[in-house]
Amino acid sequence: MKLILMIAAVMSLSLAAQAQNKRETYRLLNDIEQELDFGRHNPEAIRQANQQLRDVLSILRGQDPGPGGRGDFTCIARDDDGRNPWMIGVREPRSVQVKKVAGTVLGDISNCQKSIDSAVFVGRGSALFCGTRDNDGRAPFAVIAYTPNGSTQKLKAIGGSADECINTLRQAKKVRGAAYFCVSRDNDNRSPYVQAVYDAFAGKVEYGNQTFSSVRDCQNSL
């Protein structure tokens, strides 16, 4: 009987906290509406606010906020000559221009397309791709974090081939704006391996201090 009462009390507290969170959300929405009605804002501020509100809606729906979709990304020859090496590009809105994503040189076009197809979208318009550690289209391969303002951050190596990197990235676990995966601790694609988390909202990566002798062992512990 005491256990039942304890469970009921915990559930009651949980429901109360949920109701409080919802009231806070409604209050914020009301503040936003009033700010839009009476404040003065430049178009860029409104655009950024809209992007973040779309992210919030995606989170509430249990979806991964991200760019407009994989269709925003394409492959482009690094030297603009239609030949190897190829890298990832992003189509500019309302334009025919393609902006190259720094650090994503992947050698042949098939590796480039596979990297796009396996991209992990993690929120606030950010995405994780496979690229090459030395940006030369050759092994080892590493994760590249892309943000919608066009900046990139190269993370540690996770594969001796594009397929190995892609398969490892596909095992990433996503938790509302963050992605957890495994990388080579010493950035050489060799043991030991450690866990990594990329937080799209903070725009930073953190590496764990627990080591694993294989990628599989590391992934099983995520």
In three-state form (DSSP H/G/I as H, E/B as E, the rest C), the secondary structure along the chain is: CHHHHHHHHHHHHHHHHHHHHHHHHHHHHHHHHHHHHHCCCCHHHHHHHHHHHHHHHHHHCCCCCCCCCHHHEEEEECCCCCCCCEEEEEECCCCCCEEECCCCCCECHHHHHHHHHCCEEEECCEEEEEEECCCCCCCCEEEEEECCCCCEEEEEEEECCHHHHHHHHHCCEECCCEEEEEEECCCCCCCCEEEEEEECCCCEEEECCCCECCHHHHHHCC
pLDDT greater than 50 at residue 10: no
* Top-confidence residue, 3 or 132: 132
Residue of 12 and 101 predicted with greater confidence: 101
Q: What is the mean pLDDT of residues 166-190?
A: 92
Question: Where are the chain's structural domains?
Answer: 2-60, 70-220
Structure pTM? 0.67
Residue 63, pLDDT > 60, answer no
pLDDT one-digit tens code per residue, 78-117: 999 999 999 999 988 777 889 999 989 999 999 999 999 8
What pLDDT score was predicted for residue 17? 66
Provide the mean pLDDT of the chain.
Answer: 83
pLDDT band at 50 (very low <50, low <70, confident <90, very high): confident
- For the cut 60, the answer to whether the pLDDT of residue 157 exceeds it is yes
Q: Could you tell me the pLDDT band of residue 4, with boundaries at 50, 70 and 90?
A: very low
Mean pLDDT computed over 156-185: 91
- What is the mean predicted confidence (pLDDT) over 188-214? 94
Residue 65 has pLDDT above 60, yes or no: no
pLDDT at 213 over 90: yes
Mean pLDDT along residues 152-169:
91
